[in-house]
Amino acid sequence: MAELLFIPRSVEWNETSITILNQQKLPFQTEYLELKELEDVWDAIATLKVRGAPAIGMTAAYGLALAAQQYNGSIAEFQKQLQKARTYLASARPTAVNLVWALDRLVKSVAKATSVNEAKTTLIHEAIRIQVEDEDTCRAIGEYALSLFQEGDRVLTICNAGSIATARYGTALAPFYLAKEKGVHLHVYASETRPVLQGARLTTWELMQAGIDVTLITDNMAAQTMKTKHINAVIVGADRIAANGDTANKIGTFGLALLARSFGIPFYVAAPLSTIDLSTKTGDDIPIEERNPEEVTHLAGTRIAPEGVNVYNPAFDVTPNELITAIITEKGIIRGNYKTALPALFKEEESIETT
């Protein structure tokens, strides 16, 4: 049995507050924040103190459940206050569908509640279920993803789709944790991921803590790395997968998919069903968050560009489905034909073919 791995968690429910690992302080400070108010939860999500599609969903769910403990009056008035809080939290970030998925799952869980006390308890239980399910989901994604790799493979990734972006294990990083558990040696190349540096700050930190081989590169080194380091595959996370398989993920992902295609390298998306949004028909319909220009004009608080320069700062881009070799979910590996295969995942059938 391999030694116990350090696999960090990002969110914890404490009955009267939520504890999050402040991802803006990593890797040099491990700071935990206690969130008690709805506004604190909104701010934590909007300012990426907690980030990563599943982690955002879990935190928002706990935030809604926590706020609802204060709501009183009739069940009708309770539902009205709940909807208002749901809409407020959903406004924190637009792209990761897990945010609204988790909030709507909680609202639906109490749609038929007959008493306020019953509703308050149900919301807490549903939020906990989301976190518990996500850990199992991520491990399953890791098992399927690991089946695509072999001893000695070199795999490139971008951003942080790791344990701290989910309940545990991560999505794109999950196979690396499982490989370590099973004694399989894989080497990860982590792209730094300007401007917020999730790769340089978070992915390297996570993997080094677990004793997993990782090499940091800057985003503009990806082509040279694929060419000279014999990269065997690219694996990335997702923030929203449209019904046709077009996938929104961290800015820079689309470029990696184009490079992978030109180098003949498989390009994998690892994501839970909660990131697949069948109501979004294609990637053109995915809202792309544009963030504060200072993320680009400043580095670690120091200005690196002239005052007043124009800035374009999309936090995500969309990889067209035809560039995606396979989408790895907790129900199995899907290779193409996404428009048909993705809806089939939501039927109560057995896991799909994984070869």
Ligand X SMILES: CSC[C@H]1O[C@H](OP(=O)(O)O)[C@H](O)[C@@H]1O
Instruction: Enumerate the active-site residues.
Output: 239
Q: Of 251 and 265, which CB lies nearer to ligand X in the complex structure?
A: 251
Minimal distance, residue 308 CB to ligand X, in Å: 26
Q: Alpha carbon 313 to chain centroid distance?
A: 19
Q: Is 22 marked as binding a ligand?
A: no
Q: Is 86 marked as binding a ligand?
A: no
Q: Which stretch binds ligand X (CB under 6 A): 11-19, 50-58, 79-87, 328-336?
A: 50-58
Rounded Cα–Cα distance for residues 342 and 192 (Å): 31
- The alpha carbon dihedral of 182, 188, 193, 197 has a sign of positive
Q: Which of 11, 18, 49, 51 binds ligand X (CB under 6 A)?
A: 51
Q: Which stretch binds ligand X (CB under 6 A): 118-126, 161-169, 206-214, 221-229?
A: 161-169
Q: Is 261 marked as binding a ligand?
A: no
Q: Is 53 marked as binding a ligand?
A: yes
Q: Of 126 and 239, which CB lies nearer to ligand X in the complex structure?
A: 239
* Interior/surface letters 184-219, b for 16+ CB within 10 angstroms, e for the rest: bebbbbbbbbbbbbbbbbbbbbbbeebebebebbeb
Minimal distance, residue 290 CB to ligand X, in Å: 12
Tokens of 4: 């116990």
Q: Which stretch binds ligand X (CB under 6 A): 28-36, 52-60, 103-111, 183-191?
A: 52-60
Question: What SS3 state is found at 171?
Answer: coil
Among 187, 250, 192, which Cα is nearest to 48's? 250
Among 80, 131, 123, which Cα is nearest to 105's? 123
Q: How many residues contact ligand X, by CB under 6 A?
A: 17
* Cβ-based burial of 349 (10 A; exposed 0-12, middle 13-18, buried ≥19): exposed
Rounded Cα–Cα distance for residues 141 and 331 (Å): 8
x-or-dash string of contact with ligand X, 224-263, rule CB under 6 A: ------------xxxx---------xx-------------
Within 307-346, which residues bind ligand X (CB under 6 A)?
A: 315
Binding stretches for ligand X (CB under 6 A): 51-54, 159, 161, 165-166, 171, 198, 236-239, 249-250, 315
